[in-house]
């Protein structure tokens, strides 16, 4: 709940990816079908050089062990596995998860190949796929931002309830739920984007790590036996020594979208530094600061400063996650920042280090959400019971009433 409110959903999602990667690096790789016969040498399905991938590449053969190289010998070309649908395997629990996500993977992969055929560059194709996904999910993410904004508007009343019933958690929970019902706010309405982020991020990781490295991808270009799109493979894909789709991005200096972008290794800790990971971390930091609720409570401010450090974990992920995943992440974060700006404005971004630019002073969001209003009761539905007024809530309740019977004190009486 805290992660969703502070806009750290992408961080939580990649934590799950990192855990899966650490336990089983091939959890979402192209998997061989059950019953594949082992072969003495790596066998690859022929792909027409420079032509469309039309031959069925599955099942994948079991490759033999790499022979040891003698003095002066150079390693031969690397043979990549063909792209095959994942099959559940009782001995490997990750295979079941990969099998469940296969339809989502195939849908994303088909759209990526479609855009790749049009623009001829995998980097631009990744950007177009990301924009298409975010445009389709605009209503869902808008509902999340509006829900977060309305929750922030209710924070003063929620704090007042906590102070009034301090120490009684059950009473606090009841009064807060009553307030949510009266104002028509659902605190769980922003959970759907969190689930969608997880559902999309895991197959997207597999698209870049497996789909962009396979020499034959024809099994994923057909739906129910009908080929949906076709793609012209590289000439080296026929020998299985190069992927079908060109993974290098020319406008990023030939960056390979299927492998991690490591500019240099950081001494001592050994992690690789990625420029894309740095850009992604800074954009997440910007988005988190915009979505963070303003608070004057020192304890809440300290907690918010701690959460601002979480986006910096992307610098660690850059050592082992594909560069294409960071391109997707950067574009989707930029889209979220723009959407957040249009709906809720700059939020808590300013003042930044005590500085507020002129364009942020008095800024009114273009699509500002209305403040939460009391919920209207339907015909025949009982209206919510009004809250009991505690006499201590106002100053009049603490004043003793005047008594007309005269003085009751013993002071001044004659004995």
Record the pTM.
0.75
Average pLDDT over residues 33-37: 37
Residue 45 lies in a domain: no
Note the pLDDT tens digit of each residue in 185-223. 877 776 777 778 878 888 899 999 999 999 999 989 999
Average pLDDT over residues 230-245: 88
Residue 401 lies in a domain: no
272 has a pLDDT exceeding 60? yes
Cis bond before residue 240 (omega within 30° of 0): no
Residue 383 lies in a domain: no
46 has a pLDDT exceeding 60? no
**Whole-angstrom Cα distance, residue 60 to residue 401?**
90
Return the pLDDT at 62.
59
Return the pLDDT at 344.
81
Closest CA to 62 of 84, 95, 88: 84
- The structural domain count of the chain equals 1
Residue 413 lies in a domain: no
49 has a pLDDT exceeding 70? no
**Whole-angstrom Cα distance, residue 265 to residue 73?**
28
Return the pLDDT at 120.
93
Residue 388 lies in a domain: no
Return the pLDDT at 40.
32
**Whole-angstrom Cα distance, residue 328 to residue 206?**
13
88 has a pLDDT exceeding 80? yes
Average pLDDT over residues 94-121: 91
Name residue, tokens 């974990």: 313
Residue 344 lies in a domain: yes
Residue 377 lies in a domain: no
Residue 309 lies in a domain: yes
- Under the banding of pLDDT at 50, 70 and 90, the label for residue 316 is confident
380 compared with 223, residue with greater pLDDT? 223
Average pLDDT over residues 363-383: 63
Average pLDDT over residues 332-342: 91
Average pLDDT over residues 72-100: 77
- Under the banding of pLDDT at 50, 70 and 90, the label for residue 53 is very low
The answer to which of 110-119, 248-257, 260-269 has the lowest mean pLDDT is 260-269
Return the pLDDT at 18.
44
Answer for the pair 189, 147: CB distance below 8 angstroms, yes or no. Answer: yes
Note the pLDDT tens digit of each residue in 127-151. 999 999 999 999 888 888 888 888 8
Residue 337's domain spans which residues?
A: 2-34+79-349
Average pLDDT, the chain: 75
Beta-carbon count within 10 A of 339 CB:
19
Answer for the pair 234, 212: CB distance below 8 angstroms, yes or no. Answer: no
Return the pLDDT at 315.
86
Which of 68-72, 282-286, 331-335 shows the highest mean pLDDT?
Answer: 331-335
Note the pLDDT tens digit of each residue in 166-176. 888 898 999 98
């Amino acid at each position: 709940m805290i992660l969703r409110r502070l806009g750290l959903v992408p961080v939580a999602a990649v934590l799950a990816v990192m855990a899966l990667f650490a336990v089983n690096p091939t959890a979402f790789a192209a998997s061989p079908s059950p019953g594949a016969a082992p072969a003495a040498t790596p066998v690859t399905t022929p792909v027409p050089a420079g032509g469309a991938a039309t031959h069925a590449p599955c099942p994948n053969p079991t490759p033999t062990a790499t022979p040891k190289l003698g003095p002066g010998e150079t390693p031969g070309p690397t043979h990549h596995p063909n792209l095959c649908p994942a099959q559940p395997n009782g001995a490997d629990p990750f295979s079941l998860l990969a099998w469940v996500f296969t339809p989502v993977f195939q849908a994303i992969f088909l759209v990526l190949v479609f855009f790749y055929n049009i623009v001829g560059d995998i980097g631009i194709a990744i950007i177009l796929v990301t924009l298409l996904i975010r445009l389709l999910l605009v209503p869902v993410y808008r509902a999340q931002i509006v829900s977060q904004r309305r929750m922030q508007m209710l924070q003063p009343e929620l704090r007042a309830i906590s102070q009034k019933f301090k120490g009684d958690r059950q009473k606090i929970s009841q009064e807060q739920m009553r307030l949510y019902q009266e104002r028509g706010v659902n605190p769980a309405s922003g959970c759907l984007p969190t689930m969608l982020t997880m559902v999309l991020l895991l197959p997207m990781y597999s698209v870049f790590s497996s789909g962009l490295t396979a020499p034959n991808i024809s099994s994923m270009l057909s739906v129910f036996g009908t080929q949906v799109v076709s793609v012209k493979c590289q000439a080296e894909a026929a020998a299985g020594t190069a992927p079908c789709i060109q993974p290098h991005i020319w406008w990023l200096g030939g960056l390979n979208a299927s492998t991690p972008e490591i500019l240099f290794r950081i001494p001592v800790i050994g992690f690789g530094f990625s420029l894309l990971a740095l850009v992604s971390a800074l954009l997440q930091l910007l988005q988190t600061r915009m979505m963070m609720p303003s608070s004057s409570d020192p304890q809440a401010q300290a907690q918010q400063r701690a959460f601002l450090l979480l986006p910096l974990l992307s610098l660690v992920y850059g050592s082992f996650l594909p560069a294409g995943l960071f391109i997707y992440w950067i574009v989707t974060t930029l889209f979220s920042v723009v959407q957040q700006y249009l709906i809720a404005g700059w939020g808590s971004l300013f003042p930044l280090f005590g500085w507020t630019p002129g364009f942020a002073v008095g800024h009114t969001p273009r699509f500002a959400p209305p403040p939460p209003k009391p919920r209207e009761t339907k015909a025949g539905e009982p209206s919510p019971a009004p809250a009991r007024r505690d006499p201590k809530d106002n100053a009049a309740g603490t004043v003793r009433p005047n008594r007309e019977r005269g003085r009751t004190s013993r002071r001044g009486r004659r004995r």
